[in-house]
Amino acid sequence: MMVSIPEYYEGKNVLLTGATGFMGKVLLEKLLRSCPKVKTVYVLVRHKAGKNSQERVEEMISCKLFDRLRDEQPEFNEKIIAVASDLTEVDMALSEEDKENLINCTNIIFHCAATVRFNEILRDAVQLNVIATQQLLFLAQKMKNLDVFIHVSTAFAYCNRKHIEEVVYPPPVDPKKLIDSLEWMDDSLVNDITPKLIGDRPNTYTYTKALAEYIVQLEGAKLNVAIIRPSIVGASWKEPFPGWIDNFNGPSGLFIAAGKGILRTMRASNNAVADLIPVDVVINATIAAAWYSGVNRYNRPRNIMVYNCTTGGTNPFHWGEVESYINLTFKRNPLEQAIRRPNVKLQSNPLKHHYWTTVGHILPALLYDVVLRLTGQKPWMMKTITRLHKAMMLLEYFTSNSWDWNTDNVNMLMSQLSPEDKKASYICFCLSNDLLTVLLTCQAFQRKNS
């Protein structure tokens, strides 16, 4: 019998990157709440907007996400140590004192930091997703008591393939050669060659996440490494409460725009699988994966453990069904201050989509702004529609295609959990009607508390 997840984390020192991001926050909260005897969580945080690392951490843990943890463990903040760092700088801008402390103390690394902007320029995407990962691995190689290194990737890292196994595929280009080339190229040249480099991938995000996985495989050869690949991450399902989310990027923003009556048409294939997964399910799988790799570190497999955290293979849910649920859910539970009655239509035909974009979005937005001007108010609708269209263009690739992800390692991980850990982790991957309703509706009501 293996030790339980809370028992494994007892007395451990954890290093977390990306703690101020969406998934990082949820991981920090869940880890401290479900493993109350974890010793310390070091969070790498850079100075931003005139606030130092400690101030940013204090601001972060004051949000509603941590209310349950605050009630159960009032002194939880004493276990969180903010470490001033900037992953885009040389040696991650760590002081010698902090570096030495991390080398001596760290037992587990969760690397969640990344830029998730689909349209990030290639130079910045490489810096944040590839070079930063490489630097963290260099530091990990020096750590004296490291059990496991968990790298959070994306299920779409190899979206140019239709069937994706739980393996690291050969990179589209040698990352080290690309890094060397970017040092002497000017921005205009980088922008010119970006389309040719990313090839049949839709954006620099998926391209650089694939490169990062290869870096993890290369530089982590002597480390105990696992990779987590979530698909489209949405609001929380159960923990710490249903519907928590801290941003409206991606599908979340589109759902709310539909509920407000702003979004009336969206480019998608009705038959494409909507591979949505709640953030708390992903985080539970991540914590469990670190546990499994940690307790088996002396008998680990030759290849890196990769976990495709996806839902489509277990219970496929299609974008056409999402359309029905969006309209039905928001009609039954209308959002406050809705502009129009929710009635979104998915269009696979680009000409029909363009027509309905003009008729259902642009013309009403122009008219609405005219009314606002005439009544002495500041126009805002056309600006909102423009941002909405940009977001939809970035998502079209993912709402118009389907993938087949192998999930053997995820299934194996679930089978290894004790009944108690299964109850605490609920790593189940099926979108029931109730779960989809949570994903669509709850997030709107959490914005003021996020």
What confidence category does residue 248 fall into, taking pLDDT thresholds of 50, 70 and 90?
confident
pLDDT in tens, 50-99: 899 999 999 999 999 999 999 999 999 999 999 999 998 999 999 999 99
Across 286-295, average pLDDT: 96
* Contact predicate 259/330, CB 8 Å: yes
Residue 449 has a pLDDT of 38
pLDDT in tens, 317-331: 889 888 888 888 888
Give the span between the Cα atoms of 372 and 375, in whole angstroms.
5
Residue 442 has a pLDDT of 45
- Tokens 């080398």 identify what position? 103
pLDDT in tens, 324-379: 888 888 888 888 888 888 899 999 999 999 999 999 999 999 999 999 999 999 99
What confidence category does residue 426 fall into, taking pLDDT thresholds of 50, 70 and 90?
low
Ramachandran region, residue 337 (left: φ > 0; alpha: ψ -120 to 50; beta: rest): left
Tokens describing residue 168: 């690291």
Give the span between the Cα atoms of 151 and 349, in whole angstroms.
38
pTM of the model: 0.92
More reliable by pLDDT, 328 or 308 = 308
Q: Taking the CA of residue 84 as centre, how many other CA atoms within 13 Å lie in the half-sphere pointing to its CB?
A: 11
More reliable by pLDDT, 432 or 99 = 99
E strand or H helix at 232? strand 232-234
Tokens describing residue 346: 């998915």
Cα→Cα distances 421→27, 287, 408, Å: 16, 11, 19
CB atoms within 10 A of CB 197: 15
Domains of the chain: 5-235+275-316+403-431 (3.40.50.720)
CA nearest 414: which of 429, 427, 423? Answer: 427
Across 268-291, average pLDDT: 92
Sheet holding 40-45, edge to edge: 80-84, 40-45, 13-17, 108-111, 148-152, 225-230, 305-309
More reliable by pLDDT, 243 or 153 = 153
pLDDT in tens, 383-420: 999 999 998 998 999 999 999 999 999 999 999 988 88
* Contact predicate 137/223, CB 8 Å: yes
The one-letter code for the residue type at 84 is A
Q: What is the DSSP string of 58-122?
A: HHHTTSGGGHHHHHH-TTGGGGEEEEE--TTSGGGG--HHHHHHHHHH--EEEE------TT--H
pLDDT in tens, 155-199: 999 999 999 999 999 999 999 999 999 999 999 999 999 999 999
CB atoms within 10 A of CB 212: 30
Our separate counts of H helices and E strands in the chain read 19, 13
Residue 239 has a pLDDT of 87
pLDDT in tens, 92-150: 999 999 999 999 999 999 999 999 889 899 999 999 999 999 999 999 999 999 999 99
Give the span between the Cα atoms of 103 and 120, in whole angstroms.
32
Tokens describing residue 17: 């990157």
Cα→Cα distances 169→149, 157, 376, 399, Å: 19, 10, 58, 24
Residue 396 has a pLDDT of 92
Residue 412 has a pLDDT of 93
Residue 244 has a pLDDT of 84
Q: What is the CA radius of gyration of the chain?
A: 22
Residue 356 has a pLDDT of 94
pLDDT in tens, 194-246: 999 999 999 999 999 999 999 999 999 999 999 999 999 988 888 888 888 88
Q: How many residues does the chain have?
A: 450
Contacts of 150 (CB under 8 A, 6+ apart): 108, 109, 110, 111, 225, 226, 227, 228, 286, 289, 290, 293
Residue 428 has a pLDDT of 54
Give the span between the Cα atoms of 167 and 133, in whole angstroms.
18
What confidence category does residue 256 fall into, taking pLDDT thresholds of 50, 70 and 90?
confident
